[in-house]
Chain A
Amino acid sequence: MVIAQIDELTIHYGKRVAVDGLSLALDAGEIALMLGPNGAGKSTTLSALAGAIVPTHGTISIAGQDVAKAPRAVRAKVGFADQPPALYEFFTVAEHVGFVAQARGADAAAGDAALDELGLAKIKHRPCRELSFGMRQRVGLAAALVGPVELVLLDETLNGLDPHAVRAARATLRAAADRGAAILMSTHLLGVAERMCDRILMMDKGKLVADRRGAELDALLREGPSAVEDFYVSLIKDEGPT
């Protein structure tokens, strides 16, 4: 079942084209990894899926609903961990995640459950402004996962996490995928991500330049420990920031 459908998505920032005619479908239960150089359009695509950016052209639908036509209904189904995570600095961790849960129509207890799942129960009464970088990432992840979300968007959310936290995050994301959510994650941590992904999407200059899943992905991963990195380097030239 398709959770997210992107058709001919184009996003301009002034004269600069951040995303250029992107078409893509994400299935339920799928963990997709989005790779690409800085400025490739990954974050812009994630923001557009979350409804935080209005596309210049093209359409996005989530669980069958058009983001432009029913933004509020769609937002209840999308969890987005932005970079850096937007946290209410003067809320405690539990209050922040509880607020997001309630906004998505869940009760505040759902927030506690998400925090427990990610091993954050011990810090739930700490103000967000006291948190370290890694902790903030984890709280951002908890907020993205809380409530009845069907699409989870993670923008480099695994950066700065310690190995235990990465393991907990991986297990939680897999559990969310098993419950039927689609997960789209941008990252530069290839080693961490290739252990959990069902699909690799490669973006460059606003376009999708590669899409590997199923047998193709398995074959790629069997090539060795740096197979994804080699694949990346072979496809994308280092031209510096764009």
Chain B
Amino acid sequence: MTSRELIRWSRLHERRARRRPAFAVPVLVGVVLAGWVWWRASAGPLAGSHAWLAGAVVGYGVAFLRVPFHIYWRADAPLLAQLPIEGGALFDAALVRSLWAAGATTIAAVLGAAPLALGPDGAMTLVRHAGCALALGCAAGLLLPAVTIGAAALVVEGGAATALRAATALGGAPARSSPGKPPAQAAGPPSSPSAILGALPGFAAAVVLVAVLLLAPWLTDGAASPAPAVLAAIAGLSVLAAAAARRGAGIMALVLRDVSALDRQRLATLDIRPPTSLEAAIARLLGDAALPYGKDARLMRRRFPMAFALGAMVFGVLALVGVVRPDDPTPWLMVAIGGAAAYGLVLAARLGRPPIELARLSATLPLGARASARAKLAWLLGWWTVFAAAPAVFAALRQDDPAIGLGLTAAATIAIIVAGALPR
């Protein structure tokens, strides 16, 4: 099967699986971002630019996180791995998916920057922001897929342990070795090769985002700086990385097979624990929704442990903003609260799908639809309150002008409630 044929099949399936027009969500997100930027720009072009940058960082952060799901963490990965399809075709189809997703994010980001054109030197300001969005789009559509496939190739070819050891040594962590034993026989639990799957793309994403954050002053003042060269370098490097990955695309079939097997293996080991005391307390308040709530809480904890890791990170960032009280806390609050809200919306959707909700089974059990909906809303609000809303209120109240932080928290909370209450 040629690349063109596989891409055609893949696009056909995605078109049919999609429930709304392809660019409806990016346009909607772009309009919301534009509204936010327009409101912030009334306080000055710098505030508007910061608002855009914060939104763009959240948007592209999500796009970067989703790259492995366009490549190998897909329902069809084991099937594709079994079929006699050339690695090049598999790579091309994965790259096209990543490019579409990056394109959608870039549309939202460029639309969101539109109000900046209304300010002083507006046209050039808009061009600079759009250029930044394009560079980030190249990273999301070309660089991250290349790095993700490279990381998977390391796992498949057994170089992951070496890479992890090197990374650990670079990071200054003490080497895990016992006297008289070579490093391979070092004491302690073995490093998980799957860690490299997240670590390398995560590192690449962090480098790109930090580089863009450092360019923030250039976006508004346009003063001579290496910023255009940095953006061009990100775009150029992305193209080169994708081309290099395409040359080694023969490994894609192995990547699909081994990574999906690794994923199954990892997920098969479940941490079976009873409900936490907080979950038990919430369940007691829910009446007839306690049973579906208990089910959702246990399944979410097991299936989406990342929700708790990311939640803890958001909690930490917001607590720090509250303690440190930076001069301009708005972008920080925007990134943390907006990012948590975006992830909360994803979780709201996940709550209504397998493996958390089995519509076929639920349809045959005497569980009320309202109780089930209440259970999901309770879980979502519990997660949001503990990890985002409570520390966000703390961070906001610690600032000289708490209105922005409180407003953001309120808006995000409303969005979470609406998403949690939507019929599934």
Contact = CB atoms under 8 A, between A and B. Distances in A.
B355 A89 contact: yes
Interface in A204-231: none
Contacts of A75: 364-366
Given A102-B291, A104-B366, A125-B272, A91 B361 contact: no
B263 to A, nearest CB: 12
Contacts of A105: 366
Interface in B248-286: 267-268, 270, 272
Given A86-B361, A90-B299, A91-B299, A72 B272 contact: no
Contacts of A99: 291, 295
A89 B353 CA distance: 12
A129 B363 contact: no
B368 interface: yes
B367 interface: yes
Interface stretch (A76-84, A113-121, A178-186): A76-84
Given A86-B358, A90-B302, A90-B355, A50 B270 contact: no
Interface in B339-390: 354-355, 358, 360-361, 363-368
Contacts of A58: none
Nearest to A95: B298
A87 B302 CA distance: 15
Interface size class of chain B, counting residues whose CB lies under 8 Å from the partner chain: 20 to 34
Interface in A149-208: none
Interface string B296-307: 001100110000
A209 to B, nearest CB: 27
Contact of B360 (A86, A89, A127, A129): A86
Contacts of A127: 268, 270, 272
A76 to B, nearest CB: 4
Given A89-B355, A103-B367, A105-B366, A82 B268 contact: no
A78 B358 CA distance: 17
A91 B299 CA distance: 7
Interface in A91-135: 91-92, 95, 99-100, 102-105, 125, 127, 129-130
Contact of B365 (A91, A100, A129): A100
17 contacts: A75-B366, A80-B364, A86-B358, A87-B358, A90-B270, A90-B299, A90-B303, A91-B295, A92-B272, A99-B291, A100-B361, A102-B291, A104-B365, A104-B366, A105-B366, A127-B272, A130-B268
